[in-house]
Structure 1
């Protein structure tokens, strides 16, 4: 009988070649994108086909509290975790030889758990496949390297670079700025190589200590798995060099926020061609329908693209974040940008998602809007050819408003799944309630003695 290690991807087999595996981490993503699960000796992992966790992991808020289960009693039944060996990858920062394996989440009878984020994305991809389409995505990940911050009452500062100075802002695309924390970048490259991930490019963004990593285009589920892994990889690389990596949408006052730009195209499964381009290379009606769906339905999924109260601090004018639903060709002021490309690479870039979103849910939400557009076959608003930053926003300003729009959208709830949307809303309203009980320094400074 074949050994379980024979089912591993080549990069994982190369990592363990000639060495004994000490530990296997069995992980799933919760609603926030936090890795949950259990670690066990490799010898025990080899003897089991599945593992168990309570379904309450999908009711846990980012603060560690639990929301009431809107779908029934809080009995915490077990879910089965089935290893997806295609996701097995190294954990090269550990002292021993450790592999990570993402698991699919099912009921004991084998039915996918509808509130598991990876299953939500699989549901959306399956809707495309039922129409003979295959969605393709290419994510861009922005994040900040910041000085260690053990006290949450102290504002975040940029990290110290090799020059001894703190990283400076307004240095977009500067190679010298990236070199300031080159050792962190070197470890990111080394970890990614050990895990079998392909980095398309690394560059300095406009914020102090802000970095962007681009990933090559591919299957949405595989790319979401990679982003899920990359967040941990990057954090571990930063900790090796006495700094933090943060994926908060807006960690530093006065600096731009961090986005997860999503490039999207759709391929016809039968022909292999991009449905956004006609044989003569021109744009197809399907391309415009996709854009129209994004414009129409994005407000109802902002709660997934901007999942925390901090996320909405990124949606302010003059900080390089589009706060509109306009579309335009090679126009970075629009929320929906059509990059320069050849016909085969024609795609739409969604610039609204924050890097704080769960990658499975961010990709699912964006693709859901495009899918609805393809099915509804409507036309978008006229192209914006000017500065879209000057236009009024059609987006919600707060998490509460975003959740209201999500709750009111039957098409979005049908595509993402009613049970998932109901549970997600319950968890996020619990978080929002917790936030509203916190009194901020701004309120103490300006209201304590003045009102």
Structure 2
């Protein structure tokens, strides 16, 4: 076993036990959360300390076009230096040979972290917490749909066919029978996750047809974002084995609920090890309320990161399992900010705004950034909401363009996430939005062609 393999997690070494490593996938997340990188023979990987990719991977839109975000130097596609984080080495158990994946961090030629690399953005936010003596803790929840293969984008997305021979049924939330319909896919998800060393806290059927949720154990934000990044790929691979697709679109099917990435937050005092949201007698602290206020005050500007596509805003529908405002309440799933039932030691704040289509590094970073600003500004939140928050006023941008306008004006949020990241992100997202606006939809052709 080479020296670098000895630095990898136990699960990666266990996966290779008795086998010869064939290939290493050197990967990094781009802005949408797509894995970019290179696959290299294991023997070559053992000889290299780093590899290069052009910084232009962060200027690319989801369609493969480019945003004019290169800055003063122009679009010269400078090489970044990508160095492996050995702690992220994990199996790629769906491949035909023995392969490991390793997430890399991006630096410029002076060794400075590339500011618009999503993993670096999250690390920046976590470091701001630690500089204040705080350790942020998160627990993401991943919702997604298993759907029938869709090879024609002009056709609507349909639920997958279950073991019973019937399409997956909607409105069967928490049904074990519904979960059993996807049994073979779920078995592969568990097997892949085990091979990769990931701990799943549970899998449940959600309210949509073929919609599932995976809960993850709370922990370090960067580690959890790495796992969501990996999980999206392994779930897609498990689905393909069974002639269906896994989709993380925020709203893939009309008249069905959307898919969220709910983010639970708590903050630990590094010196004492105590949750700063709970006082000595177990009551709510000022920090608890300040964090909520930070979410209420700054999430409107951060929604462009948490809901990054035009489709994302189709999820925010009244009475449809997604928030329409930023009210907060205890044990109330109609609000955008929810306080789950917990012991004082586990007191946490759940952000229900983020869509599953967001980049996990950026979604978690933006959510933590809002809470951080709340802790710094020390303001109080609105009064706790009582009743059904869908009866309240809508207070979330309904289109990407409006969300980007709020994002561009949010100078305090830019200082936390990094001004250069925010500049690049806005340019790329506006390029995507303009691409979308140039497309004539089937709805327009059906209703406007002969009627107006």
Q: Distance in 2 between matches of 1:69 and 1:432?
A: 15
Q: Distance in 2 between matches of 1:165 and 1:409?
A: 48
Q: Residue 109 and residue 70 in structure 1: after superposition, are their counterparts in 2 closer, same or farther (change >3 A)?
A: closer
**Deviation of 1:2 (Å):** 6.3
Q: Please list, as runs of the form range in 1=range in 2, the aligned pairs for 1:402-417 lying within 5 A after superposition.
A: 402-417=403-418
**Deviation of 1:69 (Å):** 2.1
Contact 1:309 1:432 survives alignment (8 Å): yes
Structure 2 equivalent of residue 433 of structure 1: 434
Q: Distance in 2 between matches of 1:443 and 1:392?
A: 29
Deviates more, 1:385-394 or 1:364-373: 385-394
Contact 2:56 2:70 survives alignment (8 Å): no
**Deviation of 1:444 (Å):** 1.1
Q: Distance in 1 between matches of 2:192 and 2:392?
A: 42
Contact 1:71 1:419 survives alignment (8 Å): no
Q: Deviations over 1:166-219 (max 9, x none)?
A: 001000000000101100000000000000000000000000000000000000
Q: Please list, as runs of the form range in 1=range in 2, the aligned pairs for 1:293-442 lying within 5 A after superposition.
A: 293-442=294-443
SS in 2 for 1:145: strand
The size of the alignment, in residue pairs, is 451
Deviates more, 1:41-50 or 1:64-73: 64-73
1:144 matches 2:149: no
**Deviation of 1:70 (Å):** 5.0
SS in 1 for 2:416: helix
SS in 2 for 1:211: strand
Compute the RMSD of aligned alpha carbons.
0.8
Structure 2 equivalent of residue 10 of structure 1: 10
Q: Distance in 1 between matches of 2:289 and 2:3?
A: 49
Q: Please list, as runs of the form range in 1=range in 2, the aligned pairs for 1:221-236 lying within 5 A after superposition.
A: 221-236=222-237
Structure 2 equivalent of residue 29 of structure 1: 29
Q: Deviations over 1:114-162 (max 9, x none)?
A: 0000000000000000000000000000000000001100100000011
Deviates more, 1:433-442 or 1:387-396: 387-396
SS in 2 for 1:43: helix
Q: Distance in 2 between matches of 1:181 and 1:242?
A: 12
Gaps of 5+ in 1: none
Contact 1:322 1:334 survives alignment (8 Å): yes
Structure 1 equivalent of residue 65 of structure 2: 65
Deviates more, 1:388-397 or 1:128-137: 388-397
Q: Distance in 1 between matches of 2:67 and 2:325?
A: 32
Q: Distance in 1 between matches of 2:260 and 2:4?
A: 38
Structure 2 equivalent of residue 54 of structure 1: 54
**Deviation of 1:398 (Å):** 0.6
Q: What TM-score, normalized to structure 2?
A: 0.99
Q: Please list, as runs of the form range in 1=range in 2, the aligned pairs for 1:14-163 lying within 5 A after superposition.
A: 14-69=14-69, 71-72=71-72, 73-163=74-164
Contact 2:209 2:256 survives alignment (8 Å): yes
Gaps of 5+ in 2: none
Contact 1:21 1:97 survives alignment (8 Å): yes
Q: Deviations over 1:408-447 (max 9, x none)?
A: 0110011001100000000000000000011111111111
Contact 2:2 2:46 survives alignment (8 Å): no
**Deviation of 1:317 (Å):** 1.0
Contact 2:69 2:423 survives alignment (8 Å): no
Q: Distance in 2 between matches of 1:398 and 1:434?
A: 14
Q: Distance in 1 between matches of 2:70 and 2:371?
A: 29
1:270 matches 2:240: no
Contact 1:61 1:430 survives alignment (8 Å): yes
Structure 1 equivalent of residue 176 of structure 2: 175
SS in 1 for 2:394: coil
Contact 1:70 1:422 survives alignment (8 Å): no
Contact 1:234 1:245 survives alignment (8 Å): yes
Q: Distance in 1 between matches of 2:92 and 2:238?
A: 11
Structure 2 equivalent of residue 218 of structure 1: 219
Q: Distance in 2 between matches of 1:31 and 1:123?
A: 16
Contact 1:305 1:362 survives alignment (8 Å): yes
Q: Distance in 2 between matches of 1:8 and 1:386?
A: 49
Q: Distance in 1 between matches of 2:8 and 2:18?
A: 15
Deviates more, 1:386-395 or 1:233-242: 386-395
Q: Distance in 2 between matches of 1:381 and 1:4?
A: 52
Q: Distance in 1 between matches of 2:105 and 2:280?
A: 39
